[in-house]
Amino acid sequence: MQKRRFQQLVLVASMLFGMFFGAGNLIFPVSMGQLAGSNLWWAVAGFLITGVGLPLLGVAALGVSREEGLFALSCRVSKGYGLFFTCLLYLTIGPFFAIPRCATVSFTVGIQQMFPQGEAGALAIFSLIFFGAVLFFSLRPGEILTWIGKVLNPLFLCFLALLVLRALTSPLGQVADIAPSGNYVTAAFSTGLLEGYNTMDALAGLAFGIVVVQAIRQQGIEKPGDVAKSTVLAGLLSSLLMALIYLLVALMGTQSRGMFEASSNGGEALALIAHHYFGGAGALILAATVTIACLKTAVGLITSCSETFVQLFPKGPSYKAWAVSFCLFSFLVANLGLNTILAYSLPVLMFLYPLSIVLILLTLTGHWFGNHPTVLRWTIGFSGVAAVLDFMKALPAPARALFHLDPFLEIVEKILPLYSLGFGWVCPALIGFCIGMTLRHFRRQPQL
């Protein structure tokens, strides 16, 4: 019985890893490795906190809370906030940004190398085929554990291992000899922390909770305590595998600087590395690795988004209608191109991440204050104000100029601690928490 239970847990962890680990999880650490140089280990430490630690805490928070999903969890603040936050988070990691990015990254990193001419037409054809495959798998949500956990994820790991092991056994340079560049020269740790935001995995950790819980229950585990325990353990196993791969891929990126200059993005760096070690076959290996990585992540996102919106709007469209609509919308957004998607996703991430981190931490420490709504609302409220300021700062320069934000943001940077590092929300969140705890204390005092 124990052996069977462990096998079930490994399968769920494999599914969770498969949904987490897309091509973005490859391109960001390899790019970070190239730029961090000899400061790699500090950068990786920061990256692992936001790229692995936060997703694990997100999954753990849902397991510990014993809620059915993100909506029920965020409704602890208020029902209105729960609806707003859940919709925005799922749309961000869904059809607005993350799902279209899966297709564009697959094309840019893997397929485009084979179609140097006619990029626009090739992207449209590829994305149409890609989302056709995503829809095929997504319309069978009951089989997601099998498709991702048993088929797509092991296939992806095989292709990735082929590339990484070849690179690490014949390194192009030594980490100590590579000079860091950019912000990694003086602030490698905090820059790595922010780089982990780009994976969107902390948001996905909250979003995928509903899929994990359902998969665990399909294994015959029904008691709330057992479901919570299995959710946390599955999250831990998947996080350990992610951390290992991040470390190896970042190391591969740093060592590549022994032969290549830092690339403009991680996709270009991966293409150069693959071509160096495998020649023309490298493009095929990279295309297979990246496309499978993105496909399994997109399937997990479409499934999670569709199931969540069915629950949020029970009298609205069916699961099939949501899945088809999200795939069609993602197809249209994907054809705007990768650079456009990345440019507009960063400000939204800088707004959502503080709210997500605070919600996760409040959930995990809720037993200290009985999950009292006053504490939740004050902490989230102060965090939200600071998150808006982070959103403004991350806007593209033309947008900031249009709204004349730079003079205002310069004043904010002088007043708000850690704002220049991208963590201006930390102090407001602590202030809100203290106010909430104080008000809760006085409201509990007996009447004289």
Residue 75 sits in a domain of what CATH number? 1.20.1740.10
In a domain, residue 349? The reply is: no
Q: What is the pLDDT of residue 6?
A: 72
Higher pLDDT, 263 or 7: 263
| Portion of the chain with pLDDT greater than 90, in percent | 41
- Domains contained in the chain, number: 2
Across 34-38, 137-141, 208-212, 236-240, which has the greatest mean pLDDT?
A: 34-38
Q: What is the pLDDT of residue 27?
A: 81
Range of the domain at 79: 2-340
Nearest-angstrom CA–CA distance, 258 and 242: 26
Q: What is the pLDDT of residue 448?
A: 37
In a domain, residue 357? The reply is: no
- Cβ(253)–Cβ(34) under 8 Å? yes
Q: What is the pLDDT of residue 83?
A: 95
| Portion of the chain with pLDDT greater than 70, in percent | 91
At residue 127, the 3 state secondary structure works out as helix
- Kindly state the DSSP code that residue 172 receives in the 8-state scheme: S
DSSP 244-267: HHHHHHHHHHHHHTTTSPPPSSHH
Which residue has 């950790």 as its token pair? Answer: 205
Q: What is the pLDDT of residue 38?
A: 94
Cα angle vertex 290, ends 288, 291, to 5°?
65
- Residues 146, 260 share a domain: yes
- Is 80 exceeded by the pLDDT of residue 342? no
- Cβ(8)–Cβ(152) under 8 Å? no
Torsion 176-177-183-186 (CA) sign: positive
DSSP 272-336: HHHHHHHTHHHHHHHHHHHHHHHHHHHHHHHHHHHHHHHHH-TTS--HHHHHHHHHHHHHHHHTT
Convert the pLDDT of each residue in 32-50 to its tens digit: 999 999 999 999 999 999 9
At residue 343, the 3 state secondary structure works out as helix
Nearest-angstrom CA–CA distance, 248 and 47: 13
Residue 174's pLDDT band (cuts 50, 70, 90): very high
- Is 80 exceeded by the pLDDT of residue 434? yes
Convert the pLDDT of each residue in 268-316 to its tens digit: 788 888 888 888 777 777 777 778 778 878 887 898 889 889 989 999 9
- Is 70 exceeded by the pLDDT of residue 387? yes
**What is the arithmetic mean of pLDDT over 177-196?**
91
- Is 90 exceeded by the pLDDT of residue 8? no
- Is 60 exceeded by the pLDDT of residue 438? yes
- Cβ(169)–Cβ(330) under 8 Å? no
Structure-block tokens of residue 278: 């495998």
In a domain, residue 376? The reply is: yes
- Is 80 exceeded by the pLDDT of residue 192? yes
In a domain, residue 125? The reply is: yes
Nearest-angstrom CA–CA distance, 282 and 350: 35
**What is the arithmetic mean of pLDDT over 83-105?**
91
- Residues 369, 316 share a domain: no
- Residues 381, 327 share a domain: no
In a domain, residue 355? The reply is: no
Q: Which residues contact 355 (CB under 8 A, 6 or more apart)?
A: 85, 380, 383, 384, 387
Q: What is the pLDDT of residue 4?
A: 64
- Residues 324, 207 share a domain: yes
In a domain, residue 97? The reply is: yes
Mean pLDDT lowest for which of 40-54, 160-174, 353-367?
160-174
Tell me, what amino acid is at 12?
V
- Residues 272, 159 share a domain: yes
Using CA atoms, how far residue 224 sits from 2, 9, 423, in Å, is 19, 16, 35
At residue 403, the 3 state secondary structure works out as coil
Mean pLDDT lowest for which of 171-185, 196-210, 305-319?
196-210
**What is the arithmetic mean of pLDDT over 151-167?**
79
Tell me, what amino acid is at 30?
V
Residue 163's closest CA among 56, 270, 14, 9?
270
**What is the arithmetic mean of pLDDT over 162-170?**
88
Predicted TM-score (pTM) of the model is 0.83
- Residues 303, 165 share a domain: yes
- Cβ(436)–Cβ(380) under 8 Å? no
In a domain, residue 346? The reply is: no
- Residues 372, 262 share a domain: no
Nearest-angstrom CA–CA distance, 294 and 338: 14
Nearest-angstrom CA–CA distance, 135 and 127: 12
Residue 200's closest CA among 340, 64, 301?
301
- Residues 414, 336 share a domain: no
Residue 19's closest CA among 285, 233, 200?
200
Looking at every residue in the chain, the average pLDDT score rounds to 85
In a domain, residue 259? The reply is: yes
- Residues 154, 84 share a domain: yes
- Residues 227, 300 share a domain: yes
Residue 329, burial from CB neighbour count under 10 angstroms (0-12, 13-18, 19+): middle
Name the domain boundary from 340, 373, 405.
Answer: 340
- Residues 384, 323 share a domain: no
Q: What is the pLDDT of residue 447?
A: 43
Structure-block tokens of residue 237: 């196993």
Q: Which residues contact 75 (CB under 8 A, 6 or more apart)?
A: 81, 82
Tell me, what amino acid is at 160?
L
Residue 27's CB is within 10 A of a number of other CB atoms, namely: 26
Higher pLDDT, 23 or 14: 14
- Residues 189, 140 share a domain: yes
Convert the pLDDT of each residue in 122-152 to its tens digit: 888 889 999 999 999 888 766 655 666 566 6
